[in-house]
Structure 1
Amino acid sequence: MGACARLVRFSLLWLSLLWALLAAPLAAQEASILVVDLDRAYETSLFGKSMRAQFREDNQDVAAENTLLLNALKDEELQLTEDRTTLSAEEFAAAAAAFDAKVQEIRSARLEKIRQVDEQFKNLKPLFFSRIEPFFDLVMREFNATVILEKRSVLRSIEGIDITDLLVERVDDAYLASVSATEPAAEN
């Protein structure tokens, strides 16, 4: 066998090996992976900001109610202290016990209200994520992606697969369109 034949065989072997090595990445490229920073999407999107602003607006009365109740209880306590001089020991003890029971009842009710508000706030982020789920599907189809991973769970990636800004843009566009559609037309 001549040197030329060995060179042809060697070249064919390398070409077939090279073809086999290149075929695997082509299949992997079709199964693209995207990443998203969900916290950043929640914090920076107009929709997420709007949800948090609406929550604050809906619950601002809780702090005002607490202040009113506290002031009323302080006034009642001062009155009870003033009445102490005119009440018998038994009457004062009964009034003080009734006041204490009232304070405990109000405190318990307010703590429950605060717990409910806290629970509502904790549910804002999952609610945001559930409402933007359709956008994940659209982006996956657009990029022919098979998976979107949370960026914090990825050790290292290239910036090109991070769809956070694109997702925020799409969510904000849809949010602004829905807001403008629900606003009454300006009267001339």
Structure 2
Amino acid sequence: MMMWRAIVVLLVLAMPVSAQEQSGPPVLIINSDRLYFETLYGRRLAADLAAEVTEVQLENDRIVQTLTEEERSLTLRRPDMTPEEFRAEADAFDAKVQEVRRARDAKNLELQTASAEARAIFEERVQGIIGNVMLARGAAMVVEERSVLLSVQSANITDDVIARVDAVLGDGTR
């Protein structure tokens, strides 16, 4: 993969300057993380996710507090219980803790899945805008900035695409 990236960079750099100036670089670059986190749409998605994460964390904190109180109560009542009674309640408490842990893990996985799905929908919606910029600049392809070793600044279209996404999609609710 690195060899192909190097070949693409060499081809771009080997082009005559006049060819690059006439129609722009044939390969454009975009920083998809900046695109996501700096557009109105991406910021709204990130804020929505952050609100959900905060809500889950508050719920987790309440659950931990409740379980801590239950454990403390069991510990305080232990001297007045038979070993069998204590073992039964301790086992029931452990089962409850394990069930809560499974439910919390499932909720965290749900949040991760929702985040990945939102990002995928975002990328799908902005793909046409990126394509339009690519065609307007006379380029043949757009590559992720992380894949580029060396380039000219004019090949990076991130700022232009951010402005166009904001203009066309706003915060993504249109």
After TM superposition, the score normalised by the length of structure 1 is 0.72
Structure 2: state its 5+ residue gaps.
1-17
1:61 aligns with 2:69: no
Match of 1:38 in 2: 32
Q: Which one-letter code corresponds to 1:158 in the other structure? A: V
- Does 1 or 2 have the higher relative contact order (CA < 8 Å, sep 6+)? 2
Match of 2:148 in 1: 154
Moved beyond 6 Å, runs of 4+: none
Q: Which one-letter code corresponds to 1:98 in the other structure? A: A
- Could you tell me whether the CA contact under 8 Å between 1:52 and 1:124 is conserved in 2? no
1:108 aligns with 2:102: yes
What does 1:4-15 align with in structure 2 at a 5 Å threshold? Answer: none
Shift of 1:159: 1.2
Structure 1: state its 5+ residue gaps.
1-24, 183-188
Change (3 A) 1:178 1:121: closer
Greater shift in the superposed pair: 149-158 or 44-53: 149-158
Shift of 1:95: 0.9
Shift of 1:61: 1.8
Shift of 1:178: 6.2
Change (3 A) 1:155 1:118: same
Distance 1:85 1:92 in 2: 9
Match of 1:130 in 2: 124
After TM superposition, the score normalised by the length of structure 2 is 0.77
SS in 2 for 1:145: coil
Distance 2:83 2:97 in 1: 21
SS in 1 for 2:143: strand
Distance 1:144 1:102 in 2: 62
Greater shift in the superposed pair: 66-75 or 40-49: 40-49
* 1:11-70 deviation per Cα after TM superposition (whole angstroms, max 9, x unaligned): xxxxxxxxxxxxxx86xx668322212222222222211110011123322111111111
- Aligned sequence identity (%): 33
1:85 aligns with 2:79: yes
- Could you tell me whether the CA contact under 8 Å between 2:27 and 2:155 is conserved in 1? yes
Match of 1:12 in 2: none
Shift of 1:124: 4.2
Aligned pair count? 157
SS in 1 for 2:150: coil
Distance 2:90 2:145 in 1: 58
Shift of 1:111: 1.8
- RMSD over equivalenced CA pairs, Å: 2.7
Greater shift in the superposed pair: 53-62 or 99-108: 53-62
- Could you tell me whether the CA contact under 8 Å between 1:35 and 1:150 is conserved in 2? yes
Distance 1:99 1:173 in 2: 55
Distance 1:47 1:107 in 2: 33
* 1:83-135 deviation per Cα after TM superposition (whole angstroms, max 9, x unaligned): 21222221111111111111111112212222222333344443322221110
